[in-house]
């Protein structure tokens, strides 16, 4: 019965609507939507016949603020993830403890931080007694989740073997998995919706142990980070040892020895992006440095006319809302002062002239771009990558890159649509002159991941900007 509800067209359609939230303009969502009914019925058929197999994950590394390997599922697989959680999710969520704050509607980091403040006041008796906090972190959590144990936990609530089959299919699709030869298979991809859900299901076992066996009253968990409050260091040490034994024996996990510490509240407790003290809290220095780097990047983009002031304000407002959760009045005041210096209001007349000339410039040069390049441009606008265009047109990737350079220089293609903003900003700082050779520029770049083709694209962007400036100057002279 559960599996038949999961396979229903209504459930899969609802899952699609959830999966596309905030991503309606993404090329893979647009492509899926073009044949929506066909794609949804195909997924339904695969589920009913149990022939569904997830597509290989796309894995990439982010270093923001620390190095993490993120694995991204194909959009069709994300629809299946939502379809599964739509059906089985509530039976697990209703048994989660109140102070599990991750990946749930109505919860989140700010709720967890607010709860931290409540607990610190209660345990310290309004800062009249010593308050100690066990700040704990589980070592390599997503890489160490044991598949067999997770399936056993899910079986407690889900008796339908077909649903269990689907869970196993999803778990097996991860580059982190290892096993065979008698070894236990472990790992979940960081980035999947199901991984976030399974992470809570798996550690709910720890929550129940903490609450019902150890009977700890002041406990908060957010994914694999948790804190426990007490007036006694000895008591916290005992909790730490018993929790570590439970994790090793029942969940095949262990506490991170370097990141699990017992701290006095007066030292400041690092928790979910803040450093929390008895009477105040402030954002962590790493977060402040990260935002400052973002503002430096936006300053370059604003100078390049890739952003307007309103877009910068949107970014600033989001950060200010976060910073406002801490005691940061002076910091926010200085931030606004610097904002007005770094993002001055432009002359409206100049903006209008610049836009008119840019549009004229693009139309004028469109006839000068080769027809082969126009084919490449058409495919780029459809959302294909350089390598995909190379296969589609049966031409070398180097030829596609030449087309991109040609299109950028003639104002037919924005460099921002084919390269990441961070990489463009980095290269703009390294290129001194648009007439420099690629070799000269490459010698100043220590990042080996930057290719000559990418440098050529950004150099072409600068050439295009210089031509626009020249046209601006001529136009202003004519106006005078």
Q: List the pLDDT tens digit at each of the 480 positions of the chain.
A: 789 999 999 999 999 999 998 888 888 889 999 999 999 999 999 999 999 999 888 877 766 556 677 778 889 999 999 999 999 999 999 999 999 999 888 898 989 999 999 999 999 999 899 999 999 999 989 888 999 999 999 999 999 999 999 999 999 887 654 444 445 688 888 878 899 999 999 999 999 999 999 999 999 999 999 999 999 999 999 999 999 999 999 999 999 988 999 999 999 999 998 999 999 999 999 889 989 988 988 888 888 888 877 778 878 888 888 888 899 988 988 888 888 788 877 665 444 444 544 554 454 444 444 567 778 888 888 888 888 888 888 888 888 898 888 888 888 888 888 888 888 898 888 888 888 888 888 888 877 888 989 999 999 998 888 877 766 655 555 444
Secondary structure tally for the chain: helices H, strands E: 21, 11
Instruction: Using only the alpha carbons of the chain, give its radius of gyration.
Output: 27
Task: Report helix, strand and coil shares of the chain as percent, to nearest 5.
Answer: 60, 10, 30
Of 176, 177, 178, 171, the residue nearest 194 (C-alpha): 171
Helix axis angle, 9-19 relative to 36-48, nearest 10°? 120
φ, ψ for residue 221, nearest 5 deg: -130, 140
pLDDT confidence of residue 134: 96
**CB 429, CB 300: distance < 8 Å:** yes
Q: What b/e sequence results for 382-392 when a residue is b if at least 16 CB atoms lie within 10 Å of its CB, and e otherwise?
A: eebebeebbee
d(CA 439, CA 450): 12
Q: pTM (2 decimals)?
A: 0.69
Q: Do 136 and 227 contact (CB within 8 A), yes or no?
A: yes
Residues in a beta bridge with 220: 227
Alpha-helical runs (H) found in 307-370: 309-323, 329-342, 348-366
Q: Cα dihedral sign for 9, 15, 20, 22?
A: positive
Task: Order across the sheet with 274-276: list the strands.
Answer: 269-271, 274-276, 281-283
């Amino acid at each position: 019965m559960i599996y038949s509800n999961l396979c229903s067209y209504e459930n899969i359609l609802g899952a699609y609507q959830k999966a596309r939230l905030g991503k309606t303009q993404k090329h893979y969502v647009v492509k899926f939507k073009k044949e929506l009914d066909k794609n949804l019925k195909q997924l339904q058929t695969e589920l009913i016949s149990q022939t569904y197999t997830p597509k290989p994950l796309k894995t990439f590394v982010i270093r923001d603020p620390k190095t993490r390997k993120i694995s991204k599922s194909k959009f069709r697989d994300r629809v299946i993830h939502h379809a599964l959680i739509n059906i089985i999710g509530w039976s697990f969520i209703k048994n989660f403890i109140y102070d599990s704050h991750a990946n749930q509607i109505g919860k989140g980091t700010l709720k967890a931080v607010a709860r931290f403040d409540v607990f610190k006041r209660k345990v310290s008796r309004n800062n009249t007694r010593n308050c100690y906090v066990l700040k704990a972190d589980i070592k390599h959590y997503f890489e160490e989740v044991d598949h067999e144990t997770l399936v056993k936990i899910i079986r407690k609530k889900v008796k339908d073997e077909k649903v269990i089959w689907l869970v196993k299919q999803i778990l097996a699709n991860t580059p982190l998995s290892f096993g065979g030869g008698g070894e236990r298979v472990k790992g979940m991809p960081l980035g999947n919706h199901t991984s976030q859900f399974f992470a809570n299901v798996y550690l709910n076992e720890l929550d129940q142990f903490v609450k019902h066996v150890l009977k700890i009253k002041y406990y908060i968990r957010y994914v694999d980070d948790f804190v426990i409050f007490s007036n006694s260091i000895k008591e916290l040490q005992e909790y730490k040892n018993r929790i570590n034994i439970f994790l090793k024996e029942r969940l095949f996990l262990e506490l991170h020895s370097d990141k699990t510490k017992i701290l006095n509240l007066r030292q400041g407790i690092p928790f979910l992006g803040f450093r929390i003290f008895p009477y105040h809290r402030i954002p962590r220095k790493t977060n402040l440095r990260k935002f400052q780097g973002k503002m430096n990047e936006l300053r370059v983009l604003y100078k390049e006319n890739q952003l307007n002031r309103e877009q910068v304000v949107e970014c600033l407002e989001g950060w200010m809302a976060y910073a406002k959760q801490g005691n940061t009045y002076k910091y926010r005041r200085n931030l606004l002062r610097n904002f007005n210096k770094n993002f001055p209001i432009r002359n409206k007349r100049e903006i209008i002239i610049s836009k008119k000339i840019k549009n004229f410039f693009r139309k004028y040069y469109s006839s000068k771009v080769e027809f082969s390049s126009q084919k490449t441009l058409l495919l780029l606008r459809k959302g294909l990558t350089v390598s995909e265009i190379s296969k589609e047109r049966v031409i070398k990737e180097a030829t596609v890159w030449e087309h991109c350079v040609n299109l950028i220089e003639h104002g037919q293609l924005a460099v921002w649509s084919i390269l990441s903003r961070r990489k463009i900003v980095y290269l703009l700082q390294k290129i001194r002159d648009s007439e420099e050779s690629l070799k000269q520029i490459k010698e100043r770049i220590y990042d080996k991941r930057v290719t000559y083709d990418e440098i050529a694209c950004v150099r072409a962007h600068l050439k295009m900007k210089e031509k626009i400036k020249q046209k601006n100057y001529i136009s202003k002279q004519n106006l005078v």
